Structure 1
Amino acid sequence: MKVESLHGLAILEFGAILVCHKKLVELRSYSTLVRPSNPKLVSSLSVRSNGITPEAVIAAPSFADIADTVYDILHGRIWAGHNIVRFDGVLIREAFAEIGRTAPEPQGTIDTLELLTQKFGRRAGNMKMASLATYFGLGNQTHRSLDDVKMNIKVLKHCATVLFLESSLPDIFPENHWVHPDIFEKVLYSVPFNTAHPDTFDMVAPGNEMNAASHQPDVTMEENPILQPPEMPSTVTVPESCSDSLVFLEPDEVSLPSIRALHVPFSGGSQRVKLFYEGAILQLCCPRLRIRFGISKKFPDHAGRPKLSFVVDASPSLYGVLDTCDRIVQKVYADSGCSSEWTCVVSKRHYPTVRLHIPTAVNGDVAQYATDMYLKEPSGTTQKLIFSKFDATELDTYFKPGTFVDSYLSLNPYDYQQRSGIQLVTTKLVIHNE
């Protein structure tokens, strides 16, 4: 599906192709110009962008005239498109609302902007459709609805073919052969990559993930105005004792000029941005962070489980490290062509605070906390907390506002659905029972 709009305010053209999901061949197509309520708004800038003239739209049907056809094409089907979650889908729903009609609802949603960015990496720069088309030599984007849909299908097929070859014939098509050799020399052979989650190309799973993500509310938390970043992988591996096997630095130990952010190769031909300090992954141990707001359970993951997080006050030294990481990672994303909205990891609205995330580990149908949690008594005795089941309400007792925690943190940069930032994930927590 593709909607050509007037500055994102009115639909000028609608186009859709019904595709067989098994063969990716065209079964049916439909496109039409659409007359906006005020055709005079079609400017010379719009004409230069897509070639749609005021004269053309004056003779076109209104959206009310085509609403039945659009509804029949879209309702109950899987919607696919480039940036469809934030653009095309929103305009379709608004157009139906304006004429007082019930909008069609998708059975699922696949946003190829997010899907291809996640699976294909940023090989094509900013991953816009025009950039992808140029990368694969498919010609120029016309910004006409049906042409753009056809180009989207071609791009998806090309990406799928490349990823299939890289995953099926790794000796002939090494998945990271396209990465700059300097990055290979500095990073590839020195960084212990997480191999617990092979990032294989699976059209079904990403489709479900995009559908779930499309229903996440794009709002801020009431207690702390930090936008919700994407959820972490559903299965994670955490060492029995984090401090024994990994290097965690206290913020005071970090020399800010020595922090680096680099694109590193990941399985499936993608890249991820990682933060480094003196040749190792940057991870922080932050003693005695004061909890400002307790466990948040407002946002569910794709399986309906709450995505757990809590807010702590940021000490001056932690604030300095994270502020530096923000600037470094934001520049790396910008230099690679990323146009996503940046969310600072430290909230400065009333006082410096940061949100810490507790990931979920899933083994079959059993879910549990992936963070090692310990309770430290005033006597100094520390015992590990054992939870028999995943029940987020049981954490409320331990994560009360004013409680102090020692936090072992991984700093995970993300670029997800046109939003980017750094997510702080807890691998180990020591809760002070004072």
Structure 2
Amino acid sequence: MGPTEDRSEIAFFDVETTVPTRQGQKFSILEFGAILVCPKKLVELESYSTLVKPSDLSLISSLSVRCNGITRDAVISSPTFAQIADRVYDILHGRIWAGHNILRFDCARIREAFAEIGVPAPEPKGTIDSLALLTQRFGRRAGDMKMATLASYFGIGQQTHRSLDDVRMNLEVLKYCATVLFLESSLPEVFPENSWVSPNAVTRRRAAKSSPQGNSSNNNSHASSSNIGGNPISLPVQQGETHPILSLVTICSEDRASILAEPSATESDSFNMHTTSDQITGATLETDINMEEHATVSTEASPSEDTSTSLCTTKFLEPDQVSVSFITASFVPFFRGSQRIQLWHKDDCLQLLCNNLRVRFGISTKFTDYAGRPRLSFVVDVPPNLCTVLEASDGVAQRLFSDSGSGSEWRPAVTRKNGYFNYPTMRLHIPTAVSGDVANYATEMHQKEASGAVQRLIFSKFDAAELDSLIKPGAILDAFISLDTYDYQQSAGIRLVAKKLIIRS
């Protein structure tokens, strides 16, 4: 499976998988479906789909069957992933990949499947994730932006949870949304510019999917089907030409570091897809803070152009210095015309200095960015005075957030769980700074000796294991924290970012 020639078709693809039922259990692909689409005419050229027999049939639980209807009997005689790997590689490698929520879910499952059989995974030359793009450009008029919801909005079918149906529906939904946006852009006086977009409307979560015709071409009695021949049609794009779908592509570099981020929700031209592509490539992506969520891949945290940071000083307040009655929130410019919620204390940004925090859980590497680097965070106990400040901040930001019209679920900054360990915690995030192929910690870190001497820690490379030896359960540290609001993957809240850490020896 060596390198293939440059091919211009867009590969819309989807996988159906088992659903993990316990911690540490992985996903296993049960079905793969793809269509090749002409980028000029947006018509389906060829298709391929097959059920896949997992290495362990017991992974197909009742929960998995409820999600996609694929039973153990349905896949018992189907090929394993190793048997279809060559075909999947040929379909995907060197093409533009497209799908709904693929960056978060489907791309990761493909790479995992190839890794399990010890074979290099295919690589895209660009990626279109329709969930974030449509949320940004089409807004929340269609609700939660799941594929089934979008299909219902346009009246083009009901979800079937089958791969080939899903990708065909994805293409149809893109066509409908693009048409609506084109018509609206032609009558700006009738359709006020972006009046339907919330100031921070961008979400992305595992999407449910549907058939554009309302009937399924896949069922349990058909293990596989294929209309992709040995010589796929190549449709080169002429220099200088632009196409509505190709302009959505996020071009993939060799290290795959340039990928989906948090796009603007208030650009001047609601149909300027070139602008969308630029924003998607360059802005900052918020980390998923729900550590119980199944999905394991997120995207690169590249430097952002967050203009709101220029409004803040370097002043950090201890919790006892904060008067909750002076905590306010407002929208401030964020990235290329978008807005984000900024928390304030009196006339300055609310930033906190928290001394003597005790680490409850050490460095987590559960989530990774698109280049495979772990996105680091750790959990600390929250003292009562800090709880008061964070919960007041949550309340102020959530009220403004609700008024903005976003339908995302607000997640509190302070976590409380019932049971024996019934005391509050918060998660601190250590952002990654990426320069070319080099990644390092964006958090400034120091170590404080028992004598009181403080020494700055210099890291020559990004090494989560080395950091884990410093920030371990029971460790005591001082943290300089920024309170960054986010609205991402249908979750919203305050992300606590460690700007500086002083770790006690």
Is the CA contact (8 Å cut-off) linking 1:238 and 1:370 kept in structure 2?
no
- Distance in 1 (CA, whole Å) between partners of 2:183 and 2:337 is 10
Letter in 2 for 1:352: P
Aligned residue for 2:458, secondary structure, equals coil
* 1:109-158 residue CA offsets vs partner (Å, 9 max, x unmatched): 865335544676545431123544577x5755575876653342143356
Q: CA RMSD in A?
A: 6.6
1:361 CA drift (Å) = 1.7
Residue 314 (structure 1) aligns with: 382
Is the CA contact (8 Å cut-off) linking 1:81 and 1:111 kept in structure 2?
yes
Are 1:408 and 2:475 an aligned pair? no
1:72 CA drift (Å) = 7.5
Letter in 2 for 1:150: R
Is the CA contact (8 Å cut-off) linking 1:412 and 1:425 kept in structure 2?
no
Letter in 1 for 2:100: H
Residue 425 (structure 1) aligns with: 497
Residue 355 (structure 1) aligns with: 427
- Distance in 2 (CA, whole Å) between partners of 1:301 and 1:66 is 28
Residue 283 (structure 1) aligns with: 350
- Distance in 1 (CA, whole Å) between partners of 2:303 and 2:35 is 36
Aligned residue for 2:480, secondary structure, equals strand
Given the alignment, which residue of 321, 338, 350 partners 2:408?
A: 338
Residue 365 (structure 1) aligns with: 437
- Distance in 2 (CA, whole Å) between partners of 1:244 and 1:33 is 54
Is the CA contact (8 Å cut-off) linking 2:357 and 2:477 kept in structure 1?
yes
Is the alpha carbon distance of 1:91 and 1:337 closer, same or farther for their aligned partners in structure 2, counting shifts above 3 Å? same
Aligned residue for 1:289, secondary structure, equals strand
5+ residue gaps, structure 2, are: 1-12, 21-28, 53-65, 112-116, 185-190, 201-246, 261-286
Are 1:204 and 2:277 an aligned pair? no
Residue 29 (structure 1) aligns with: 47
- Distance in 1 (CA, whole Å) between partners of 2:361 and 2:347 is 32
Given the alignment, which residue of 461, 472, 495 partners 1:390?
A: 461
Using the size of structure 2 for normalisation, the TM-score is: 0.51
Residue 174 (structure 2) aligns with: 156
Aligned residues: 389
1:424 CA drift (Å) = 1.3
- Distance in 2 (CA, whole Å) between partners of 1:104 and 1:391 is 24
Letter in 2 for 1:303: A
- Distance in 1 (CA, whole Å) between partners of 2:446 and 2:32 is 56
* 1:278-315 residue CA offsets vs partner (Å, 9 max, x unmatched): 68785331331323157626354333444333332211
* Aligned sequence identity (%): 44
Letter in 1 for 2:78: A
- Distance in 2 (CA, whole Å) between partners of 1:303 and 1:281 is 36
Segment of structure 1 superposing worse, 407-416 or 390-399: 390-399
Is the CA contact (8 Å cut-off) linking 2:428 and 2:496 kept in structure 1?
yes
Aligned residue for 1:127, secondary structure, equals coil
* 1:372-427 residue CA offsets vs partner (Å, 9 max, x unmatched): 345567787766x26362344665676464333142323333423x6555421122
- Distance in 2 (CA, whole Å) between partners of 1:134 and 1:360 is 39
1:318 CA drift (Å) = 1.8
Is the alpha carbon distance of 1:27 and 1:243 closer, same or farther for their aligned partners in structure 2, counting shifts above 3 Å? closer
- Distance in 2 (CA, whole Å) between partners of 1:67 and 1:378 is 56
Using the size of structure 1 for normalisation, the TM-score is: 0.58
Is the CA contact (8 Å cut-off) linking 1:284 and 1:409 kept in structure 2?
yes
- Distance in 1 (CA, whole Å) between partners of 2:327 and 2:392 is 8
Residue 319 (structure 2) aligns with: 251
